Every structure is written in C-alpha cells, then in structure tokens.
Amino acid sequence: MPVYSFYIFDRHAECIYKRRWLPRPTSIAGKPSRATDAQAGSTGLGQTVKAGDDDAKLVFGTVFSLRNMVRKLGGEEDNFVSFTTSQYKLHYYETPTNIKFVMLTDLKSPSMRIALQQIYINLFVEYVVKNPLSPVEHPGGVGVNNELFEESLEQFVTRVLA
C-alpha cells in the first residue's frame, strides 16, 4: 500500500519536515526509490500536484481550514481523520501541542491515524524532542532531519506500512 508523502507542521504553522516516496513500480518488488529532490517527487500524485514548496503550504492551508470547520460544526472535541479525492487519501493527526502530522497514501489504504500517532510517540518524541542537543523549536526543519528519525521513519513506512 503506497505512501506518497508525509508532512509535519509545527505550532507556528511551519512545515518542519517533508518527505516524498515514489509509488512502488509494479514490475520491481524491491525497496521504493526515495525522492529527496522536490522536483523528482512530483510523479507520485499523478499530474495534479505541483512540485516544490507550494504543496506543503497548500496541505497546511487545507488541513487548518478543514480542522476549524469540523470543530465549528461537530463541537470542540471533533476532528477529521482523513479525506479522499479521486487520486489520493489524506490522513491527519494533531497532538494537543498543535503539531500536525499529515500523510498522503493511495485510495485503498486503511486509516493511518494510529500509524501517525505511532510516528509521533515512537519516532518524533523519542528521536527529535528528547534529543537534548536539538533545538526545542524547529525553524526550517532544524533538528527534525536527524539520522535516527529519518531512518526509523523510512523503516516504519517501508516495512510496517508496506
């Protein structure tokens, strides 16, 4: 079940981590190739999403508005879990500290809410927050892009979720 991309937004509405995965080619059953280059990753979502920094901003704007609308209609404790388009499914998890985790997967994927929560508890808190030498806030993603976090995330997405 392909994961297309993954974003973390901090409480200052800044994208502090972004990762894209190319969809697994059907002919090769190996590890999905990784697209760190923003331009190279655009094929993951068909032709609908423009490459570059824009997508993170768009994703944030969408989840921010959607979350506020959901709370207005459904009450303060309400939250949206995912939404689906004809191309992808967007999964959302927000911590009480206002850190937002977003994952885009293909349409057939089950709910990723637990997976996103696990990423927060077991990867983000352990490897980013508890690293005493990383800054408390992460402007521009400083401190999030450390090896332990990235590698564990890669493993989690390719092995656990695959």
Partner 1 sequence: MSATKASRIGEETRIDKVNAELVTLTYGTIVAQLCQDYDNDYQEVNKQLEKMGYNIGMRLIEDFLAKSGVGRCANFRETADMIAKVGFKIFLNVAPTVTNWASDNNQFSLIFEDNPLADFVELPDDGRAQDELWFSNILCGVLRGALEMVNFASPFPVQMQIEAHFVSDVLRGDDTTEMRVSLVRYIEDEMPPEEE
Give every CB contact of residue 51 below 8 A, 6+ residues apart in sequence. 38, 39, 41, 42
- Show the site string, 70-109: x = touches partner 1 by CB under 8 A, - = not: -x----xx-----------------xxxxx----------
By C-beta, is 36 or 122 nearer to partner 1? Answer: 122
Tell which positions 17-76 bind partner 1, by CB under 8 A: 57, 60-61, 64, 68, 71, 76
**Rounded CA Rg of the chain:** 15
By C-beta, is 24 or 138 nearer to partner 1? Answer: 138
SS (H, E, C) 112-161: CHHHHHHHHHHHHHHHHHCCCCCCCCCHHHCCCCCHHHHHHHHHHHHHHC
How many residues belong to the site for partner 1 (CB under 8 A)?
Answer: 23
Where do contacts with partner 1 occur on this chain (CB under 8 A)? 11-13, 57, 60-61, 64, 68, 71, 76-77, 95-99, 120-121, 124-125, 129-130, 136
